[in-house]
């Protein structure tokens, strides 16, 4: 499975033991978060959807703190991958460290590490696409981006998505889109897709823990979409697709241990 490699360190985005890039590679941003009651499952493990919200909040805080760009630009997740060595637990304080590890013409990859006071350890790689908030179309990176997040070492990243279409055998069930799932861009927030993954893990692999996961986002889900959650289990691997008559909206691969 490739999700381990997707979030692992690569040239230009290497993390040291503390979750930081090599010295002198540009801007680093750190934040503290605690794992709260609404973040965990029944066993007290930080859920994947809660982790996605943490990563989103840290990325937003970094962007605001950097004071770059303007209100006409927004960022949406195109691809997210995470490798978990030890899951954060209920009430565990976490230190998040994030930096830019690669760019393309209209997107940038952000690496983020989480280290917990109780021993939690995970690393994520999230590809964020820059869009015009008004039209929803792809936009060039804002002026001054490289001067602020110059930690890439010249590394370029692709925005190509590689997950295959739904593959048999599959189990299908409807997925209800709620008004509370939508964010300010008018479509379902990326964290909600991970909530669907957590549902299927609890239903189909209840005794196993995710050790690596990857989600790709193809088509925004809107409030009126009739979404079907399609799932396949192959040994320790879970695969999901969120589909509607408009096509495949998102897909995920999760390796459990």
Question: What are 218-229's pLDDT values in tens digits?
Answer: 999 999 999 999
Tokens 């859920």, residue located: 47
Asked if residues 85 and 135 have their Cβ atoms less than 8 Å apart, the reply is: no
Q: How far apart are CA 188 and CA 37, in angstroms?
A: 23
Dihedral (Cα; 43, 48, 51, 53), 10-degree rounding = -120
Q: Is the pLDDT of residue 191 over 70?
A: yes
Q: How far apart are CA 253 and CA 256, in angstroms?
A: 10
Q: Is the pLDDT of residue 21 over 80?
A: no
Q: How confident is the model at residue 10 (pLDDT cuts 50, 70, 90)?
A: very low
Phi, psi torsion values for 178, nearest 5 degrees: -105, 155
Asked if residues 117 and 35 have their Cβ atoms less than 8 Å apart, the reply is: no
Mean pLDDT of 66-87: 90
Select the more confidently predicted residue: 251 or 16: 251
Q: What is the pTM of this model?
A: 0.91
In Å, how far are 102, 106, 119, 134, 135 from 87, measured between CA atoms?
26, 32, 8, 38, 39
Mean pLDDT of 27-37: 96
Both tokens assigned to 149: 């997040």
Q: Is the pLDDT of residue 257 over 50?
A: yes
pLDDT of residue 149: 86
């Amino acid at each position: 499975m490739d999700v381990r490699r997707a979030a692992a360190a690569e040239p230009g985005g290497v993390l040291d033991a503390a979750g930081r890039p090599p010295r002198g590679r540009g801007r680093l941003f750190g934040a503290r978060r605690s794992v709260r009651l609404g973040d965990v499952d029944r066993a007290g493990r930080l859920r994947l959807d809660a982790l996605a919200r943490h990563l989103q909040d840290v990325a937003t805080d970094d962007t605001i703190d950097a004071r770059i760009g303007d209100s006409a630009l927004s960022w949406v997740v195109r691809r997210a991958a995470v490798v978990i060595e030890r899951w954060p637990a209920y009430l565990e304080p976490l230190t998040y460290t994030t930096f830019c590890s690669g760019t393309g013409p209209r997107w940038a990859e952000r690496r983020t590490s989480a280290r917990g006071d109780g021993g939690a350890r995970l690393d994520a790689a999230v590809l964020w696409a820059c869009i015009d908030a008004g039209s929803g179309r792809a936009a060039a990176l804002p002026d001054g981006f490289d001067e602020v997040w110059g930690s890439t070492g010249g590394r370029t990243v692709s925005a190509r998505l590689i997950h295959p279409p739904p593959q048999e055998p599959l189990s299908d069930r409807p997925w209800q889109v709620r008004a509370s799932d939508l964010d300010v861009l008018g479509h379902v927030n990326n964290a909600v897709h991970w909530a669907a993954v957590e549902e299927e893990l609890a239903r189909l692999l209840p005794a196993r823990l995710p050790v690596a996961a990857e989600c790709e986002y193809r088509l925004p889900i809107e409030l009126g979409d009739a979404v079907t959650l399609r799932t396949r289990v192959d040994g320790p691997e879970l695969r999901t697709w969120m589909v509607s008559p408009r096509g495949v909206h998102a897909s995920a691969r999760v390796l459990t241990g």
